[in-house]
Amino acid sequence: MFTALTLTLLAQTGASVELQPGSAHPGEAVLIVVRGSTREPSGSLGGDPLDFFDYHGTYLALASLRVDQVEGSLPLAVRLVTQGREQDVGGQLDVLPPDFRHRTLTVAPRFISPSKAQQRQMKEDQRAFDEAFDQDRVGPMFDDDFEWPRPAEVTAPFGDIRLYNGKKTNQHFGTDIDGSTGDPIFASNEGEVVMQRPCYGSGNTVVLFHGLGLFTAYFHLSRFDVKVGDHVDQGQRLGLVGMTGRVTGPHLHFGAKIHGRWVNAESVLRLHFPPGTAPSETPSLTPGL
């Protein structure tokens, strides 16, 4: 069950810090919402600095857990300003055990032993990804929670640990969604197209920048319906399902990246961005100051 943790600073100021969710698995996204601060807060989660942005009078920061984050708890520390004075709020995020599955796959040798020409293309593709992810610091471009890019079954979840042909192991940093070639793919939320490119591994690829340090990625398309520089609305068609790149069948690989770290896109879909719908269960705590 998705729950948030709200740390109430002082009742008379109306200031609070909300942590979504209150517990998370490795590789998942975390949202920190600060209300009632008269200027941009600062803070950290697990020692990593938080980057806050103004959003409709509240302040938001996105963070993420590493895929190798150990079970336990991570300290949350936020400094904000109310009634002209700085206030420190502390809490913690409970880190749950990892729940990645292990799979053994048999694939054609060409998929795991690329030629020299393919290796050169992979390096060019990586430079293109690096450029796409190198965006200016801007606040959220969206006003709604994120949505699925396709209403279909998940065929491979984020974090799958895969052993190919009994030898090479890697981890799957996306969510595979079922589809047939030609099925439409839609933008998960409003944003800007920062990459539209055929790549060796990910095939025809679209990357959207949403602000707040957040990107979504859409791989293996059979057709592009957008170009770099386009501003797209939530639900706008980006292209069509395909099987381009290093795949064995048609599907959509849906990814999300926060401040340089791939995260479970499903965890981004569970976040509630104000003034959207608030989580159904929000326990309230008052930290010591």
Q: What is the pLDDT of residues 153-197, one digit of tens each?
A: 999 888 787 665 555 567 778 999 999 999 999 999 999 999 999
The residue count of the chain comes to: 289
Selected residue with higher pLDDT from 82 and 209? 209
> Which residues pair with residue 232 across a beta bridge?
191
Structure tokens at 221: 């398309």
Tell me the HSE value of 48 on the side-chain side, using a 13 A CA sphere: 18
**Does the structure show a pLDDT above 60 at 134?**
yes
Question: pLDDT at residue 130 above 60?
Answer: yes
Model confidence at 57, pLDDT cuts 50, 70, 90, reads confident
- pLDDT at residue 286 in the model: 34
Determine how many CB atoms are found less than 10 A away from the CB of residue 143: 13
- What are the tens digits of pLDDT across the range 233-262? 999 999 999 999 988 899 999 999 999 999
Share of the chain above pLDDT 70, in %: 85
Residue in this structure with the two tokens 């069948």, named with its chain if needed: 249
| Pair of tokens at residue 279 | 């989580």
Q: Region 131-147: what's the mean pLDDT?
A: 96
Alpha-carbon span 185 to 200, nearest angstrom: 20
Whole-number Å distance between alpha carbons of 146 and 200: 28
| Contact status, residue 141 vs residue 191, Cβ threshold 8 Å | yes
CA angle 84, 89, 91 (to 5 degrees): 170
Q: Which of 144, 5, 148, 27 is nearest to 75 (CA)?
A: 5
Tell me the one-letter amino acid at 55.
Y
pTM of the model: 0.89
Q: Residue 129, Cα to own-chain centre: how many angstroms?
A: 16
Answer yes or no: is pLDDT of 152 > 60. Answer: yes
Please check whether residue 251 is in contact with residue 244, taking contact to mean a CB–CB distance below 8 angstroms.
Answer: no
Q: Give the type of residue at 276.
A: G
Distance CA 265, CA 256 (A): 5
Q: What is the pLDDT at residue 101?
A: 73
For the cut 70, the answer to whether the pLDDT of residue 106 exceeds it is no
Residue pair 33/274 in contact by the 8 Å Cβ criterion = yes
| Domains of the chain (ranges, CATH numbers) | 5-98+271-285 (2.60.40.10), 102-258 (2.70.70.10)
Please give the pLDDT value at position 167: 59
Q: Are 194 and 115 in contact (CB under 8 A)?
A: no
The pLDDT value given to residue 288: 34
**C-alpha angle 69/91/285, rounded to 5°?**
135
Alpha carbon of residue 93 to chain centroid: 18
Spatial CB neighbours of 7, under 8 Å, sequence gap ≥ 6: 16, 17, 18, 19, 76, 89, 90, 91, 285, 286, 287
Residue 132: DSSP 8-state? H
What is residue 158's DSSP assignment? T
Stretch 261-283: mean pLDDT: 74
Residue 171 is encoded by which pair of tokens? Answer: 């981890």
- By the 10 Å C-beta count (0-12 exposed, 13-18 middle, 19+ buried), 197 is classed as middle
Instruction: Read off the amino acid at residue 15.
Output: A
